[in-house]
A and B are shown apart, each in its own frame.
Chain A
């Protein structure tokens, strides 16, 4: 079963507007971490934001914020004031403390974001 679901294969947003990228997850582990990474065409994985399952407040990092709704198992990424340089693939990922793969990340299929002028 898919552990991370990103339902938006592609998204468009106009420059300076805000955009929300959806992510839902599936786990029975009480201890887990949720990540968002940006992958430009070069392939590098750029860390954006992290949310621990026990964190009380939603994570924020500059223009990025994570809308963490634990009961709904949802961890949407909000990018405010979009910039042309934000155009890239965005991956949601999860790390489960009790995973048989240790601390490896489980990735969603990604969302391709295009920021238009």
Chain B
């Protein structure tokens, strides 16, 4: 069964509004979750590492004030795209793993379209 649940799977929003994406660990407590972004026909790029109970770590070039990450519990991380613009339209996907061992588990992904 699914280890990671991500919602919503698809969202269309107006430019200037904010969108929240949830990533839940269903099978184990995850102190760390990862958020990736994938533009059409491109690879997955790490945006940030979400750490339970502390601030997220953002990759170079990712605006932390635009992409707010909250990891308030061991089973839930949220990514909020604030004041979304059309260039933020992308596929966002979360991931977690069991302390670096074996398979990395991915959510179903969220396809964001900003109009």
Query: Which A residues form the contact surface with B (CB < 8 A)?
Result: 33, 35, 37, 43-45, 47, 50, 91, 93, 95, 97, 101-110
When the two chains form their complex, are residues A47 and B100 in contact, meaning their CB atoms are under 8 A apart? no
Q: Does B34 contact A (CB under 8 A)?
A: yes
Top 5 A-B residue pairs of the complex, sorted by shortest distance between their CB atoms: A45-B106, A103-B100, A43-B109, A107-B43, A107-B44
When the two chains form their complex, are residues B59 and A101 in contact, meaning their CB atoms are under 8 A apart? yes
Q: A50-B102, A95-B104 are in contact. Are A43 and B93 (CB under 8 A)?
A: yes
In the complex, which of the residues A95, A101, A108 contacts B49, with contact meaning CB atoms closer than 8 Å?
A101
Chain A residue with the shortest CB-CB distance to B93: A45
Q: Does B97 contact A (CB under 8 A)?
A: yes
If A50-B102, A103-B32 are given as contacts, then 5 extra A-B residue pairs at C-beta distance below 8 Å, sorted by A number, are A33-B100, A43-B93, A44-B109, A102-B49, A105-B46
Q: Does B29 contact A (CB under 8 A)?
A: no
- Please list 5 pairs of residues, one from A and one from B, whose beta carbons are closer than 8 Å in the complex, sorted by A's number: A43-B93, A45-B109, A97-B100, A101-B57, A109-B42
Query: How far apart sit A37 and B109, CA to CA, in the bound complex (Å)?
Result: 14
Query: How far apart sit A47 and B97, CA to CA, in the bound complex (Å)?
Result: 12
Chain B contacts of A45 at CB under 8 A? Answer: 44, 93, 95, 106, 109
When the two chains form their complex, are residues A110 and B34 in contact, meaning their CB atoms are under 8 A apart? no
Query: How far apart sit A106 and B45, CA to CA, in the bound complex (Å)?
Result: 8
When the two chains form their complex, are residues B43 and A108 in contact, meaning their CB atoms are under 8 A apart? yes
Chain B residue with the shortest CB-CB distance to A92: B43
Chain B contacts of A37 at CB under 8 A? Answer: 106
Query: How far apart sit A105 and B38, CA to CA, in the bound complex (Å)?
Result: 13
B37 to chain A, nearest CB (A): 11
Query: How far apart sit A44 and B102, CA to CA, in the bound complex (Å)?
Result: 19
Q: Does B111 contact A (CB under 8 A)?
A: yes
Chain A contacts of B38 at CB under 8 A? Answer: 43
Query: How far apart sit A108 and B99, CA to CA, in the bound complex (Å)?
Result: 22
